[in-house]
Amino acid sequence: MKLSRMQMLIPVLAIAMTMSACGRKNDDSATSVTAARGARSGDASGLTGMSTQNYTQGQAFVVSNDPNFSEIVKVLASATVNPQEIGVTDNQRGVVLAGVVRYNPNTGTLVPTNSMLILEITDSNVSGDIPPILIKVPATQLQANGNNVQLTFADSYGSIRIVGAVSGNTFSGSVSFQNNQAGYMGQTSGTLGTFNIPFNSFFTSY
């Protein structure tokens, strides 16, 4: 796919569409993925070792300079994991973002089927017997205006929002979240951090 395809996905005129969840079955069971601790929604296959480098098959680190980063991670993960069981998370290499946003290259419209966000959290408690925490959430909404993009991923546990922009062949953005349940220290929302990922690794024609 040539980079010029990007213009079909993100035209100068504003595009706003909501991906219908009707007819889709979102697997929100925390026990559906036995390979990941407190796994949230979906199949964890193919994610082993995804934290080893910055970009591998559409993966990037979510980085933050917030001194309370570990606490923010606990808030996010508390939807399916007891916060007391989560250790310290490195603010530069502890959270990996992956996923895919599919679109029709002929029309520039989004394809909701299999469009999803994946976050893998590797905290200080991860060992041979304790796997990383996996969060896999389906896409529900896209808004784009010029090179600016807003994406929402949501399930019964809450929503994760990405606000970003495309520059050249790089998609850069920030990740925030709002939990529908659980929480940590009275908080259920927060800003996780920022990331940079190759455009063609996150957006793909379908």
Q: Please say if the pLDDT value at position 206 is more than 60.
A: yes
Residue 166 is part of which domain span? 3-19+26-43+63-201
Specify if 58 maps to a domain: no
Q: What average pLDDT is seen over the chain? A: 77
Specify if 149 maps to a domain: yes
- For the chain, what percent of residues have pLDDT higher than 70? 70
Written as six digits, the tokens of 85 are 């069981």
Confidence of residue 112 (pLDDT cuts 50, 70, 90): confident
Q: Please say if the pLDDT value at position 104 is more than 80.
A: no
Please tell me the total count of domains within the chain: 1
Specify if 57 maps to a domain: no
Specify if 156 maps to a domain: yes
Specify if 48 maps to a domain: no
- For the chain, what percent of residues have pLDDT higher than 90? 50
Specify if 169 maps to a domain: yes
The pLDDT of residue 5 is: 43
Specify if 163 maps to a domain: yes
Specify if 50 maps to a domain: no
The pLDDT of residue 36 is: 58
Q: Is the dihedral of CA 55, 12, 107, 164 positive or negative?
A: positive
Confidence of residue 108 (pLDDT cuts 50, 70, 90): low
Average pLDDT rounded to a whole number, residues 36-42: 63
Question: 42-82: per-residue pLDDT in tens?
Answer: 443 443 344 433 334 578 999 999 999 999 999 999 999 99
Average pLDDT rounded to a whole number, residues 75-99: 95
Question: 152-175: per-residue pLDDT in tens?
Answer: 999 999 999 999 999 999 999 999
